[in-house]
Amino acid sequence: MTLLALVVLLTAGAQVALLLGFATLLLLRRERSAIGARGGEPGRRPLDDLAASRHWWRRAEAARRSGDVARLGDRELLNRLLDDPHPAVQSAATASLAPLVDARLVGMLLDRLPERPMAIRLQQFGLLRDALPLTAATLMERLTLDAPPRRLKSWIALVETLGSPELLARVAALHSHPEPLIRLSVARALRHYRHPEAEEMLLIALHDHDWRVRAVAARSLGRHGNVSAVPRLAAGLRDVRWWVRFRCGLALAQLGAAGRGALDDARRDVDRYAGEMATMIAGLSPDSVIELSEG
């Protein structure tokens, strides 16, 4: 194929793509006009056709306009779009919710959080944070030991994002939950709650039978910066799990002179693994300690 023929072929392809783009835009405009005209038909709700389309981008168009529909009372359609299998449709529906938030909607969003893709979950976290008074009141009713663990884990993650002291205090009460992943979530959230009660719960978590909980508790204690935790963290350098020893060492390095002193003592510990971990952590720069602690 000659260069000229290739140029002609590429030009023709670009023109075809442009024509297809115009045709698609015209089709969407006609669909919108038709939907608007049918909105007044008895027994027919606006956007039904778009919301039922097999093409996700048309359902996303319905989701973008669902806020106006919901103001007219079409909550059923809005709920269907929020539960659409395609994340783009869920995202568009979530973006239209801000003017419509009430206690009922907040409860529905909270109960379905675990089912959402992570990107949609984070988007809805932002929406729930903007409606904090409603969200806090609804969450307080749900943060109980008998709540479904899958939902409870998502709610604790939301509380960690919100940072409300009242909600964090309620989360602290879940520290003895029978599910290890819930205890882990509690220990992670409590790093944002600098309160004597939280520190007591974290010190208890340092002795949890699940090593993941012990590691997260050590990380949170390092974030709190209270030197009263030094003896317990120093004992954690002898833990049977490498990751727990690592987190305890990093936490000690964050606790000023007292923590550094404990690391220096541990370098001469009869426990070989404690000594090796203390030597490694003591050789890190302050910036490295901060970076690894946040990782």
User: Over the stretch 143-162, which tens digit does the pLDDT of each residue have?
Assistant: 999 999 999 999 999 999 99
State the pLDDT at residue 218.
98
The rounded distance, in Å, linking the Cα atoms of 155 and 192 is: 15
CB atoms within 10 A of CB 91: 20
The rounded distance, in Å, linking the Cα atoms of 143 and 131 is: 18
State the pLDDT at residue 16.
59
Higher pLDDT, 91 or 244: 244
State the pLDDT at residue 35.
47
CB atoms within 10 A of CB 150: 14
Higher pLDDT, 64 or 89: 89
CB atoms within 10 A of CB 267: 16
State the pLDDT at residue 271.
92
State the pLDDT at residue 92.
83
The rounded distance, in Å, linking the Cα atoms of 209 and 212 is: 9
The rounded distance, in Å, linking the Cα atoms of 74 and 242 is: 55
Res. 70: pLDDT tops 60: no
What's the token pair of residue 89? 């449709």
Res. 57: pLDDT tops 70: no
State the pLDDT at residue 94.
87
State the pLDDT at residue 84.
85
State the pLDDT at residue 217.
98
pLDDT tens track for 271-285: 999 999 999 999 999
Range in 60-64, 72-76, 241-245, 246-250 the model is least confident about? 72-76
**Residue 41's pLDDT band (boundaries 50, 70, 90)?**
very low
Comparing CA positions, the residue from 200, 228, 202 lying closest to residue 213 is 202
Res. 111: pLDDT tops 80: yes
When pLDDT is averaged across residues 87-94 and rounded to a whole number, the result is 85
Q: Name the DSSP class of 41.
A: S
Q: What is the mean pLDDT of the chain?
A: 85
State the pLDDT at residue 99.
80
Helices assigned H by DSSP within the chain: 3-38, 48-51, 56-64, 66-71, 75-82, 87-95, 103-112, 118-130, 132-142, 149-162, 165-172, 180-189, 196-205, 211-224, 230-236, 242-253, 256-266, 272-282, 286-294
What's the token pair of residue 225? 């910066």
Res. 110: pLDDT tops 90: yes
Percent of the chain with pLDDT over 70: 75
Q: Is CATH 1.25.10.10 the right assignment for the domain spanning 187-294?
A: yes
Residue whose pair of structure tokens reads 């009922």 in the numeric block: 104
State the pLDDT at residue 77.
73
Comparing CA positions, the residue from 109, 106, 111, 131 lying closest to residue 120 is 109
**Residue 205's pLDDT band (boundaries 50, 70, 90)?**
very high
Length of the chain: 295
**Residue 42's pLDDT band (boundaries 50, 70, 90)?**
very low
